[in-house]
Amino acid sequence: MLRPKTATALTAGGLVLATAGGCGKNAVGVDTCRDIEYARCEAAPSCPKLFDVSDVEQCKRFYRDQCLHGLAASEEPGAPKVRACVQAIVQAGRCAKQDKSLAECGSLLVESTDAKNACDLIGSPEKLDACAFLEPEDEPDSNDNKGSAGQPGTTGSSGASGAKGSD
C-alpha cells in the first residue's frame, strides 16, 4: 500500500481523489482515480523515506478498491488531462529515483511552491500543473454565514430599586 511514513504525507493526494459518497452509481472518475493511484504506487518506491511501499502490486490492489469512490469532482477530467497527469507522476518518480532537485527534473511544472522535491509531488499530485484538476472543487454554500454584524447596542440604565418586602 502507498502508506506515508508521516501522517500528512499522503493526506492531500489520497483524500483529494476519494469522495465521501461511497461507491454508489454516482461515483465520478473511477478509472481516472485508478490510473493516477497506480502511477503513484509505481513511483512511491523511489521515495522510501516518505512512503512504505514494498509491494507495488499490493498497493495497486488496495487502490483498485479505494477508487470505487471516484474523484472529488463533479465531472470526469477527460483522457488527455489524465494521461498528462499520469506522465507527470511517472516523471516525478524517475526524478525521485535519480535523487534530483525539482530544478533538475526538466519539464515538471509545479503549481505550488511548497513542494521540496519530487517525492512531495508524488505524495500530493495536485501540486503538479498537469494534475491540478485533482484539487477539490469549492462548493458554493448558500448558508455561508457571511452576513454583516449587527449594530452595537446602547448602554442601558440600571433598574430601579425593589420595594422592601414585608415580614
Residue pointed to by grid coordinates 483529494: 16
**Residues facing 129 on adjacent strands:** none
| Phi and psi torsions of 110, nearest 5° | -110, 125
- Per-residue pLDDT tens for 10-45? 433 443 444 344 445 678 899 999 999 999 999 999
Is the distance from CB of 40 to CB of 87 less than 8 angstroms? no
Spans of all domains in the chain: 11-134
Average pLDDT over residues 131-140: 77
Higher pLDDT, 80 or 162: 80
Sign of the torsion angle spanned by Cα atoms 119, 123, 124, 128 = positive
Is the distance from CB of 53 to CB of 2 less than 8 angstroms? yes
Q: How many other CB atoms are there within 10 angstroms of residue 19's CB atom?
A: 19
Q: Specify the 3-state DSSP secondary structure of 33.
A: helix
Specify the range with the lowest mean pLDDT, choosing from 3-12, 32-41, 128-137: 3-12
Its pTM stands at 0.69
Confidence category of residue 78, pLDDT binned at 50, 70, 90: very high
| Phi and psi torsions of 145, nearest 5° | 55, 40
Q: Specify the 3-state DSSP secondary structure of 110.
A: strand
